[in-house]
Structure 1
């Protein structure tokens, strides 16, 4: 039992280094992910460090740090994310910009194959989501993009 007591005393004396390491690791991961989750975990670790400096037992430090991190994730992270994304450009881009884009069927489009020329000038392989084929030359609109294939629907203008 003497070795165990020595080990617990050692952990209790040097826990502040563990908290500093956790804070640093979480901050580095946050810089790579930019999602605020690891930032909240580092804030929880700061709370754990403060409780260690006050003299709280290690097992209580861990519980308090975990609870603080959970509260930060639940209550601080959502408004920070909302504030961060407030100035984003609402314009759709990439694949999202293709949904609802109109085009013309270059070949008959079935559930298996087809080709479409979109209004932006791109030519895509295409499929229809319905069993009814779309004839060549018919106007279409993109419903979704599945890999490199446009899922299209007929448009009746």
Structure 2
């Protein structure tokens, strides 16, 4: 037990490292703030303060970090749920350009600079080359689309591609 009283700062560092590992798994900045409190406890221990004061300092610092620093960091680094989607889900809602007539059975569109297989959503009219469509879903490697501009409003010529 005398080792712990002589090297309490090392125990606090171990607690901070464990909390840091939990933070890496949760990425919610709670355990990071608690780790900051543990580091403050380590400093208090290295300064020779009693265990009670080490705990008080660790708790106060962790609470201050949770109340003051965490909201700022969370606002800066976290993205609101659903605001940014990556992968195939990020294409839902985007516009695409028809490169080969799209029917209920198939077709091709230019989506985010890539050529995708496409199929019409149920109840959508046939889409001709050059027409702009909106992606409503992705099924496998096929974009499910609906028309957003009629053939008279086509912004590109039939043979043109983005």
TM-score (norm 1): 0.54
**Which residue number in structure 1 is paired with residue 123 of structure 2?**
132
Q: Does 1:153 align with 2:152?
A: no
Deviation at residue 54 of structure 1 after TM alignment = 1.9
**Which residue number in structure 1 is paired with residue 13 of structure 2?**
20
- Which stretches of structure 1, 4 residues or longer, exceed 6 Å deviation after superposition? none
Specify the SS of the correspondent of 2:94: coil
Structure 1: tracts of 5 or more residues without a match: 1-6, 86-91
8 Å CA contact 2:108–2:115 kept in 1: the answer is yes
Specify the SS of the correspondent of 2:101: strand
Summarize deviations over 1:118-148 as a string: whole Å, max 9, x none.
26552213345x5314425273222354653
8 Å CA contact 2:109–2:118 kept in 1: the answer is no
Superposed, 1:16-55 pairs within 5 Å as 16-24=9-17, 37=29, 39-52=32-45, 53-55=48-50
Higher helix share: 1
Structure 2: tracts of 5 or more residues without a match: 79-84, 151-162
CA distance in 2, matches of 1:57, 1:14: 15
Deviation at residue 19 of structure 1 after TM alignment = 0.9
CA distance in 2, matches of 1:41, 1:147: 43
Relative to structure 1, is the Cα distance of residues 107 and 121 closer, same or farther in structure 2, using a 3 angstrom cutoff?
Answer: same
Summarize deviations over 1:7-59 as a string: whole Å, max 9, x none.
5x6655543211122335556887x78x682542331212222454421339x
Relative to structure 1, is the Cα distance of residues 150 and 19 closer, same or farther in structure 2, using a 3 angstrom cutoff?
Answer: same
Tell me the C-alpha RMSD between the 2 structures. 4.3
Q: How many positions carry a matched residue from both structures?
A: 136
CA distance in 2, matches of 1:84, 1:46: 23
CA distance in 2, matches of 1:22, 1:56: 15
